[in-house]
Chains A and B, each alone.
Chain A
Amino acid sequence: MSRNDQSVPGLRKADFWTGLVLVAISVFMLVETLGYPLEGSYAGVRNAWYVSPALLPLIVSAFLILLSCSLLATAVRAGAASAALADVTPRALRGHAGAARDIWIVAFVLGGYIYCLVPYVDFTAATALTLLTLAAAYHLPTARVRKAGLAVFACAIAAVLLATFAAGWRPQPRSTGADLRDLAVWAAFLAAAVSVAWAAGAPERRRWRRCLVVALGTSLILSVVFKWGLLVPLPVEGVTINTLDAARRLLLLR
């Protein structure tokens, strides 16, 4: 991380906001802690203030309140309070959002992957789609490509969430519905590949192919290595792993 990607006034402005957030968090922590038992006995253990589960949280929240107030004070003394408040205009906010574009892209793709795909659909398919989206967005860096990839990704997430919702959030693994959903993610992968190729155009064919190879290769290799090499089961073993497993058993005649 480069050391100087923020100016000192910028830092003080950020400190103002973090100071406020930290005060809120630590005060909340303190209030929660006050409800913990300080005497008597709990679970057969004789309690006293120095044995209480509240001891460390009390110390920590007290220090955090002091430290965050000091952070706030430094920011205010540097004149950051008015600057920070002046920042809360729609225009300034739009400017900030633009500057932070990459955070939102990575957060959206990784967040979508972790919260919406990994817990519900075939790990290999989800990983291939995510890798393709991320790699395409940065390896073929034009706005058109980025938008094409992200749009397909967003559609896939929406579809998966809808299907999972329809199945009552806790679908039985190894059911036809689950298999169809996994295949839908693979279809989204194909759609993403095609739309990215179309958006990137012919001159970028080589880079496009590289993204595709990385996405497919990594997801397959990782799935196989973790499942059978390291004996770590994947979060959801859906259509891809089951197919590979069936193929393995046919080959080994077991």
Chain B
Amino acid sequence: MVEKLQQNRILWLSSLTCNGNSHSLLNHPNLDLLLQNIQFLYHPLLPSRYRLKEVIQNSYECEILVIEGSIDPTLKINGVKMIDVITRYSSIAEVVITAGTCSTFGGIFSRSNEKASGLHFREEKRTEDFKNIWQKSISLPGCPVHPDLIFKTIQMILKGLYIDLDECRRPKIFYGWTVHDGCNRNEYYEYKIGHHRFGEMEGCMFIDHGCRAPFTRGSCNKILWNGINSKTRAGQPCSGCTEPDFPAFNLWETKKHMGIPAHAPLGVPKRAYISIAGVAKAFKIERFEKRILKKGSAVEKKH
């Protein structure tokens, strides 16, 4: 995408945000390695060369601009419109990363604020404001984005590696497959067995409990959170936080039309899904009929 960078200066700008992506980055186990290789001109939580006020008032050279939060053209910080600061630095930087769903697609803030959007999208719809920097943009949606995705993307940029991007400029290596890929409840999914209770390790949550993993692009079940877990592994359905339509309504309940999921798995025609599900459901798999783990075992303390 870009030639190997001569310097590694990163500017992290927060727009309309909860700072969740900044916090997420702090959880990376090798954050110190990253900090040895780059220099933050500004980051809201990490040691930085400049203060925010200085960044806003001046124009510093930087190679990577990271934007966090929805972009609201009326939002002012220190009396300066944030959109002007983003415009200025996005023309200086060689790469612009949108960290999180808000800066990529608008996210939760755009639901109640019709002026707010992502850098290039408002939900699925392309916006025009920043089309001149489309070619140097990388989208890393997620609520928040997984710290390793930021870490690895920055590493790939620093090394001058080619990053294959999809139509929303998401790296395919992270977003080319769905969150369902790697889910350890796949045996239940294959035979369409719900049998799920929240917080428990058994049963498929797509059947009744609103799991959006089969149609959500992401790596949560392959690049685990804190290196050990994911929502689905912990007994919570995927909420589809990387997708343009996040946040969806009526989470934890699978929307159905006469018993048929309103959302089929990504790219799967409804006719194909219905046919396969019909066959799978016909067979009673004894192994899954009863709970495998005794209630309270392994996951609860014995008092």
A, B co-complexed? no
Chain B residues at the A interface, C-beta cutoff of 8 Å:
none
Chain A residues at the B interface, C-beta cutoff of 8 Å:
none
